[in-house]
Amino acid sequence: MSGLAQLTVAIGVVFAINLLPAFGPPTWAVLVFFSLNFDLPAVPLVLFGALAAASGRFLLASGTRRLRPRFSRERLAHINRVQVTVSANRRRTAAGLGLFALSPVPSGQLFVAAGLMTVPLVPLTAAFFAGRLVSYSIYVSVASVAEKSLGSIVADALTSPLGVALQIVMLAGLAILAGGLRPSGGGPSAAPPARAPAAPGSHR
């Protein structure tokens, strides 16, 4: 298999992984694996890897947004209230976006949440791409140092109890955001209407 074909396979794997909302292997681990096992050049691997990851997350959020019309009015109102609360402070929102873009925290659930809300997806995806471009560059550039322990690194990334617990917590947060832990009814049932008074002279 040629180097271009190997790079195409690597990018395809990264794109497919980032379509998953949860429990996919970390993209950086996949890029490190292909970098070391197939001796792929770092620059195109990181550049196209970040682009594939951002594209996958964008499609994940866009697909989730298509589900909004299926939600009840009560749940949509709940999601909108959460969005207003989150975006009330622009500085905190910008800081959180920067932390999200640069940190290795799972991003699938965050893009699903963005899809459920009416958050502009293009700026979010652009920030994600820029942040992942930096973080993937770091991981791939130091991959040669960790070559001997690559197997344990990837295994830890896939099976880390902390990572699994973080994914579960974020999924629970998604369920709360979407109202999945709330009764699906439209609130307390209305009291039965009062019986109209009997007309004078009527028989019961």
**pTM, entire model:** 0.71
pLDDT in tens, 58-76: 999 999 999 888 888 888 8
- Concatenating the DSSP letter of every residue in 85-108 gives HHTS-HHHHHHHHHHHHHS-S--H
Domain total in the chain = 1
pLDDT in tens, 83-114: 777 677 666 666 666 666 666 667 888 898 88
| Locus of tokens 């996919």 | 24
Burial 82-111 (b: 16+ CB within 10 A, else e): bbeeeeeeeeeeeeebeebbeeeebbbbbb
In a domain, 115, yes or no: yes
In a domain, 48, yes or no: yes
In a domain, 146, yes or no: yes
| Locus of tokens 């009527």 | 202
Q: What range does the domain containing 35 cover?
A: 3-177
